[in-house]
């Protein structure tokens, strides 16, 4: 087994026209991540992280500095400038009622976890999306013998609970890859009318993906922010900012209740 050293991933062409990406970038520019105080619960994890829910050793990145989703973790936001930028971004989201779930199937977004969803970082790098995300966020990584892709052991700082998880592949479901904007939610908010390529991009875009505590993620199901937020209160604003970033990138509306909740989490 060999230790993994993080390298900078290659990026791919944007999903949306440059105008939309430029808007999101202008809203997020110049904002700094600031740690916050508080405490978090845990489920299915071992060890302990920082008491305030932030990750030590550079394992958490502010979503305001991570517009492509290629940096690890999810750092809390508390500074006035950060919170103002977060509310400005959330305020741009279109509001719409949630449509029917009719016709939804996970396969409509491609098989999990494909390496061929062109148009997003990590595409066609020879490693599946799940392992790409474990590489991005994990520490003390060990690979399967003879592989530079398949991870069999690592330590993960879970942003949703604020705890560290000592993960082994033998208990794979202890860590799950969360779609911040659930695929079923996106289907009800317009993805049912998208082409197949765009749905595959959403399902494999690192901006929309976080390795997290498995039992905690299972409880989320296909909820929007009005129905589910991470147990760790300090990270909730950062979570809804990432949710908003995905919605902006894919020109996806959110429900009125979700946008209201998102603003509230960031001091609105």
Instruction: Identify the residue whose tokens are 């990270």.
Output: 235
Predicted confidence (pLDDT) per residue in 199-221, tens digit: 999 999 999 999 999 999 999 99
Tally the residues of the chain: 268
Beta-sheet pairing, 138-143 with 175-179: unpaired
> Can you tell me the distance from the alpha carbon of 94 to that of 255, in angstroms, rounded to the nearest whole number?
8
At residue 83, φ and ψ (nearest 5 deg) are -65, -35
Predicted confidence (pLDDT) per residue in 102-114, tens digit: 999 999 999 999 9
Task: For the full predicted model, state whether its pTM sits above 0.85.
Answer: no
pLDDT (average), residues 225-254? 98
- Residue 56 confidence class, pLDDT cut points 50, 70, 90: low
């Amino acid at each position: 087994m060999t230790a993994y050293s993080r390298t900078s991933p290659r990026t791919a062409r944007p999903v949306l026209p440059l105008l939309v990406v430029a808007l999101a970038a202008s809203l997020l520019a110049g904002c700094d991540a600031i740690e916050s105080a508080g405490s978090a619960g845990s489920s299915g994890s071992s060890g302990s992280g920082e008491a305030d829910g932030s990750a030590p050793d550079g394992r958490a990145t502010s979503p305001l500095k991570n517009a492509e989703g290629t940096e690890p973790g999810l750092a809390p936001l508390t500074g006035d400038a950060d919170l103002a930028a977060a509310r400005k971004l959330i305020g741009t989201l279109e509001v719409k009622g949630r449509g029917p779930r009719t016709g939804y199937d996970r396969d409509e977004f491609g098989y999990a976890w494909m390496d061929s969803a062109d148009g997003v970082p990590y595409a066609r790098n020879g490693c599946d999306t799940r392992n790409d995300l474990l590489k991005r966020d994990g520490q003390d990584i060990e690979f399967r013998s003879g592989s530079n892709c398949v991870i069999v052991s690592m330590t993960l700082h879970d942003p949703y609970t604020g705890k560290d998880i000592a993960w082994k592949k033998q208990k794979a479901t202890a860590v799950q890859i969360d779609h911040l904007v659930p695929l079923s939610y996106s289907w009800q908010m317009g993805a049912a009318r998208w082409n197949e390529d765009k749905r595959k991009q959403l399902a494999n875009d690192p901006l929309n993906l976080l390795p997290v505590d498995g039992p905690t993620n299972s409880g989320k199901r296909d909820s929007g922010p009005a129905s589910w937020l991470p147990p760790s209160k300090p990270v909730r604003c950062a979570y809804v900012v990432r949710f908003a970033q995905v919605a902006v990138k894919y020109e996806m509306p959110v429900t009125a209740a979700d946008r209201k909740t998102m603003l509230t989490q960031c001091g609105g």
